[in-house]
Amino acid sequence: MPKGYVLVTEAITDDAGIAAYERKAAPTMIAAGARILAVDSAPTTLEGEWHGTRTVLVEFDSVEAAQDWYDSEEYAKAKPLRQAAADCKAVLLTGFEMPKPRSKPGS
């Protein structure tokens, strides 16, 4: 089963509001088994224009686990704090595993 990833870009307008969101959201993420893989205030843009002043990448054991967390009653209490403190864009990504190379006959 592929992992699930939530990628959020935030154009933060209220630092205190984002701090309040983080305090409220962190326990919901821990309970969901999430792992924060990256938080970057200045990602290197390779192509196009990037949105926001902070980008966050969160890993979940599955796409379903990520969706369940995002839709949970617990996270629903934190989400408005983020939305009030930043212009956000969020996506749910399905993880990808490279196929294993086939072994050559006779090896």
Q: Which domains does the chain have, with CATH numbers?
A: 4-94 (3.30.70.100)
In the predicted model, is pLDDT for residue 2 greater than 60?
yes
Best CA proximity match to 29, nearest among 64, 83, 74: 74
State pLDDT tens for residues 82-96: 999 999 999 999 999
Q: What is the DSSP letter of 57?
A: E
At 103 the pLDDT is 77
At 33 the pLDDT is 97
Q: Tokens 């995002």 — which residue?
A: 70
State pLDDT tens for residues 5-63: 999 999 999 999 999 999 999 999 999 999 999 999 999 999 999 999 999 999 999 99
Token pair of 61 as six digits:
């054991």
Q: What Rg value do the Cα atoms of the chain yield, rounded?
A: 17
Task: Give the pLDDT band (50/70/90) at residue 98.
Answer: confident
Task: Give the pLDDT band (50/70/90) at residue 104.
Answer: confident
In the predicted model, is pLDDT for residue 107 greater than 60?
no
Q: Is the pTM of this model over 0.85?
A: yes
63, 92 Cβ separation under 8 angstroms: yes
